[in-house]
Amino acid sequence: MFELGGSGAEPLETGDPLRIGSIPLAGRLGAGGMGRVYLGVHEGRYVAVKQLLSSVVGEDADFLRRFGHELDNLSRLPAEATAPLLASDRTAMPPWFATAYVPGLTLSQAVTLHGGPLPADALWSLLRGAAAALASVHALDMVHRDIKPSNVMLTLDGLTLIDFGVARATEQSQLTRTGMVVGTPAYMAPEQASGSRGLSGATDVFALASALGYAACGRPPFGDDSGHGVLYRIVHEQPDMAPLRELDSELAELVAACLDKDPDGRPTAAELLESASRRAPSTGPLWPAVITERLTERAAFAASTQKIDTPTVPLTGGSPEPESKPEPKAEPQPKPEPKAEPQPKPTSGARPERAERRRKRLFLAVVPVVATVGGTTLAIQLLPYMSSPQATEKPGPSASVSAPADPGSTGGTGPSGTASPSASPGKDKGKAGDKDASGEKGAEDDEGKEPDGAGGSEAAAGGGTGTGAVDPDGSDGAGDADTPGDSGADGSGGAAASGGGGSGPSSAAPPPSSGTYRYRNGDNSLCITQTYGGSDQGSCSDSTARWTVRSQSGGFKLVNQQTGQCLYANMLGQAVFVGDCAQEAGRIWRNGSGGSLVSAFNGGCLDVGTTSFLVTSTCAGESSQRWTRES
């Protein structure tokens, strides 16, 4: 009988495999939305075997390719940084991999076991161990990208970073779709949350500082919620360092430096290691007694490997023969594409177009794609912030997070051939090029039909060449017609910035007279509300559902009556936030036709997102873009 005592594993549950590949299993170490982790024995030692869920693999045609790259990167990681990769089968259905079993506790488990924050000496030991691991990883031009308490394992002699399943070499960042980032909201760096620049070792340093803040205070420095509220605070606000300053002022100053909004202002992992090595205890237990006691139990279990007696069963993902059989099952998955083609046939309104547009917006919103054991990891639209309209054209590596420029300085028209914020609608509506390669036909796109008549100067409608086919992900930019887009990542489609047919003056309704109103949506009858620093849709009786109209040049601001903050837009397709009314960027709105609210910043209409928050999207006259003003 296999004894699990001291291992940290639970008995196998009904439906769990008895072996994966050639590895017999003894217990379950954890489970999440991505897969399950089992305790097994491989070549005379304990291993942690992670098997991915079939549903996860089957939903992403590119998943196996990305998974293979992840395993390649995992095999490159130094042993001092993480549990080494011992076995894997990337072609099995579902695929799996096995790493050395770590006889430890996650940082979150340790804080819970301790009953609260860790003492200063333990925090310095934590910083020293994590900085040493990251320094060795960063030396290989790799980043972890998801440092958080559940991915830091404390052991008797130090710590180990786990779950490098989302790690990437920095030069392989294209594996994640443009416009998507991977990480856990409360531990994301500003550049990770906003997409203002590529990720680097500084991103891991920021996350490590947030994890240290959790260990010192019981909560991360910017709060522990998982929505857009914490992302807003990470990008715009300062962390709460008061509890850590009371505990250890020197450590607090170091953590504050790691939480600098500018990645270039943060110390490197090697510099952190040097600082922590001077302060961390060199003798005696590294961790408080109650944690050390539990770690001793883990180490005792790992010291003697038991034999697992399992009946003879078919191998799961262990031999090439069964692995080749499931592959035809994956082939039918492209079939849903033909099913989507008949959608243009219905003639009753624009519902099929709306359904497709909603699916596209899924990649422009918050999309949970990875949930790891011990914590939630999200792929999140690059939503909270853009430094200026031009910042999206070519975000250089030196870009830093700063306040948006006044949109009035950009006007409504971008440079010829380059997508400005007002030209962004081409990303969603590039299909006009499928009908006709001429600019005349391209002008019949939804943007060209905008009731406001602002096609050329306000919304860059239609696209002069009729190509306008920028990939919704921003990763391609290849035109659908004769002229390909130059670079979707740079925001350059094939279309010119001038409209094909909407060059007339704006016919938008005049702004309303000053007053305080509720704005009810025509699609779901919910009202605009505020949640932390973000817009939301909720009950019209909510205390944050009333908005005061404040006239401004070119339109008006919507000021939340309860908080005194203003509704403001980011780039087209991105989430709408609520913030300081003293700034102008993105805060000017005007009335559009059909009861719409049009952003003067990006020319898009206030719309319902795929989750609770609001977005701006191409004005299409849909019910979700109609807002009825109520006293």
pLDDT digits (tens, 9 = 90+) for 425-438: 333 433 333 433 33
> Is the per-residue pLDDT at 168 higher than 80?
no
State the average pLDDT over residues 498-514. Answer: 47
State the average pLDDT over residues 161-187. Answer: 55
State the average pLDDT over residues 501-522. Answer: 65
pLDDT band with cut points at 50, 70 and 90 for residue 60: low
At 197 the pLDDT is: 74
Q: 316 — phi, psi (to 5°)?
A: -100, 105
> Is the per-residue pLDDT at 178 higher than 80?
no
Catalytic residue among 16, 62, 141, 146: 146
Return d(Cα 146, Cα 133) in angstroms, integer: 14
Is the CB of residue 259 less than 8 Å from the CB of residue 212?
no
What pLDDT, in 10s, does the model give residues 579-597? 888 877 789 999 999 999 9
pLDDT band with cut points at 50, 70 and 90 for residue 63: confident
> Is the per-residue pLDDT at 334 higher than 50?
no
> Is the per-residue pLDDT at 342 higher than 60?
no
Please tell me whether the peptide bond between 94 and the residue prior to it is cis, using omega within 30 degrees of 0. yes
What amino acid is encoded at 431 in this protein? K
**Structural tokens at position 548:** 């005061």
Is the CB of residue 565 less than 8 Å from the CB of residue 576?
no
The top-scoring range by mean pLDDT among 52-61, 243-252, 346-355, 503-512 is: 243-252
At 436 the pLDDT is: 39
At 248 the pLDDT is: 96
At 512 the pLDDT is: 58
What pLDDT, in 10s, does the model give residues 265-311? 999 999 999 999 999 998 889 999 999 999 999 999 999 999 887 66
State the average pLDDT over residues 381-402. Answer: 37
Q: How big is the chain, counted in residues?
A: 631
Taking each helix axis from N to C terminus, what angle separates 201-217 and 120-138, rounded to the nearest 10 degrees?
A: 160
Query: pTM of this prediction?
Result: 0.54
C-alpha distances in Å from residue 116, one per residue of 209, 329, 340, 344, 514: 18, 49, 52, 58, 51
Return d(Cα 108, Cα 541) in angstroms, integer: 39
Tokens 């001092």 sit on residue: 80
What pLDDT, in 10s, does the model give residues 93-121? 889 999 999 999 999 999 999 999 999 99
**Structural tokens at position 505:** 């003056």
State the average pLDDT over residues 138-145. Answer: 90
> Is the per-residue pLDDT at 57 higher than 50?
yes
Tokens 């030196």 sit on residue: 398
341 CA to centre of own chain: 30
Of 147-151, 461-465, 587-591, least confident by mean pLDDT is 461-465
What pLDDT, in 10s, does the model give residues 29-45? 988 767 899 999 999 99
At 133 the pLDDT is: 95
Return d(Cα 387, Cα 351) in angstroms, integer: 35
pLDDT band with cut points at 50, 70 and 90 for residue 22: very high
pLDDT band with cut points at 50, 70 and 90 for residue 513: low
At 33 the pLDDT is: 63
Tell me whether residue 55 is exposed, middle or buried, using C-beta atoms within 10 angstroms of its C-beta: 0 to 12, 13 to 18, 19 or more: exposed
DSSP string, 477-503: ---SSSSPPSBGGGTB-SS-SS-SS--
C-alpha distances in Å from residue 64, one per residue of 71, 97, 459, 473: 10, 13, 40, 20
At 551 the pLDDT is: 92
436 noted as active-site residue:
no
At 378 the pLDDT is: 47
All domains in the chain, ordered by first residue: 1-101 (3.30.200.20), 105-296 (1.10.510.10), 515-630 (2.80.10.50)
Number of H helices, E strands in the chain: 17, 26
C-alpha distances in Å from residue 306, one per residue of 17, 22, 203, 315, 382: 19, 16, 41, 21, 48
* 3-class secondary structure per residue, 322-363: HHHCCHHHHCCCCCHHHHHCCCCCCCCCCHHHHHHHHHHHHH
Return d(Cα 449, Cα 440) in angstroms, integer: 12
pLDDT band with cut points at 50, 70 and 90 for residue 193: confident
CA-only gyration radius of the chain, Å: 27
pLDDT band with cut points at 50, 70 and 90 for residue 332: very low
The more confident residue out of 358 and 312 is: 312
The more confident residue out of 42 and 469 is: 42
* 3-class secondary structure per residue, 554-583: CEEEEEECCCCCEEECCCCCCECEEECCCC
At 618 the pLDDT is: 92
pLDDT band with cut points at 50, 70 and 90 for residue 75: confident
At 194 the pLDDT is: 76
Supply the mean pLDDT for the chain.
Answer: 73
State the average pLDDT over residues 20-26. Answer: 95
At 546 the pLDDT is: 95
The more confident residue out of 562 and 431 is: 562
At 66 the pLDDT is: 76
Return d(Cα 369, Cα 367) in angstroms, integer: 6
State the average pLDDT over residues 252-264. Answer: 96
> Is the per-residue pLDDT at 578 higher than 90?
no
State the average pLDDT over residues 195-224. Answer: 92
The top-scoring range by mean pLDDT among 69-73, 315-319, 343-347, 550-554 is: 550-554
**Structural tokens at position 588:** 């000017």
Of 249-263, 348-362, 603-617, least confident by mean pLDDT is 348-362
The top-scoring range by mean pLDDT among 467-471, 486-490, 528-532 is: 528-532
State the average pLDDT over residues 401-412. Answer: 37
At 376 the pLDDT is: 43
State the average pLDDT over residues 404-418. Answer: 38
What residues are paired with 105 via a beta bridge? 154
At 496 the pLDDT is: 35
